[in-house]
Amino acid sequence: MKKIVTLGEILLRLSAKVGVRLEQSDHLLVNYGGAEANVSASLAHLGMDVYFVSKVPNNAVGRGVERHLKANGVRTDYLIKNGDRLGTYYIEPGVGGRGTQVTYDRKHSSFSQMKLDEIDFDAIFEGASLFHVTGITPALSTSLKEITTYSLRKAKEMGILTSLDFNYRSKLWSQEDAAATLKPLLPYVDVCSCGELDALHILGIPEAARDMNQSEKLDYYYKSIQAQYPNITYFCSTFREVLSASTNTLQGNFYMEGELHQSKIFHIDHIVDRVGGGDAFAAGILYGLLTDMSPEQVVSFATAASALKHTVYGDVNPFSKEEITAFAEQKSGEVNR
């Protein structure tokens, strides 16, 4: 197993029942989730040795986080227990043309107040093959901007493959603030998860020609970003068509060595829970790279992993390599006997 390190916030997730407005709810479903934690759990289910770096309060809720991570095979050796509260987010599931709504309550969380001197990255990165973080982390506080920058630089110094998922959240910061923070990080990134809107509105890449199709535009944006940051070896993203809250199509994109590779289009006809689908895709890409899959296999595996995640409740993608591979190859809805 290869050692993987992730850094990020894990949150208490409280979900209304389908068809019930959050403000009308008299009880909520309890779970835990967060971008980097979700990637950690997915990779652990795929057999990787994953360490999650974070900070949670030293109370019953913090212990619930630790139990959740361990139940999903994630190591908690670097989980700091201190501070006053765990960040929370609320989900009101969408139905039909009404999309899912997310409400954050994460200010002043233990993680947002984490300081660089609390973390020994030399010890944490010892023997690691990959370090993954998202743009959500530096959006949470000034100290986390410092930690994110330092950790990516340190990982590069130690020869570790680095991964950054832009994961832009308009409820956390503006496009201008995101650009000012993320651009300086890109010289330390090997694997970049970003799409057309990130290229346009955060990185300021000139708009592609309007007569290009969707794939040609993405290829143009990746080539343009790589021209500015030649250290970035891999890019990835998905094309999603939202037909309704419960019916989407999904196609994966993976760019390397000047060529855009795409998966088949997956039709997801009954979405149980969309949250965490992007993290499942990111984990699939990273797993494919670490196990030396071909580009076509990487994008097929990652997109199948994401499509599967939509069929289960919660943030975590709990499927094994064998299950994801079989799903990528089978006809939709077949009984697996």
pLDDT for 223 beyond 80: yes
Can you give the pLDDT at residue 330? 77
Taking residues 212-216, what's their average pLDDT?
98
Taking residues 256-285, what's their average pLDDT?
96
Can you give the pLDDT at residue 262? 98
Can you give the pLDDT at residue 256? 98
pLDDT for 158 beyond 90: yes
Q: Higher-confidence residue: 97 or 298?
A: 298
**Tens digit of pLDDT for each residue in 271-304?**
999 999 999 999 999 999 999 999 999 999 999 9
Can you give the pLDDT at residue 202? 98
Strands 11-15 and 29-33, how do they pair?
Answer: antiparallel
Taking residues 34-44, what's their average pLDDT?
98
Taking residues 207-213, what's their average pLDDT?
97
pLDDT for 333 beyond 60: no
Can you give the pLDDT at residue 75? 98
The CA–CA distances, whole Å, from 83 to 39, 57, 116, 205, 233 equal 24, 5, 15, 40, 38
pLDDT for 198 beyond 90: yes
Confidence of residue 334 (pLDDT cuts 50, 70, 90): low
Q: How far apart are CA 185 and CA 153, in angstroms?
A: 8
Can you give the pLDDT at residue 329? 87
Confidence of residue 255 (pLDDT cuts 50, 70, 90): very high
pLDDT for 239 beyond 90: yes
Helices (H), ranges, the chain: 35-45, 60-71, 121-124, 142-157, 175-182, 196-201, 214-228, 277-290, 295-309, 321-329
**Tens digit of pLDDT for each residue in 168-186?**
999 999 999 999 999 999 9
Percent of the chain clearing pLDDT 70 (strictly above) = 98
Can you give the pLDDT at residue 130? 98
Can you give the pLDDT at residue 332? 55
Beta carbons within 10 angstroms of residue 218's beta carbon: 22
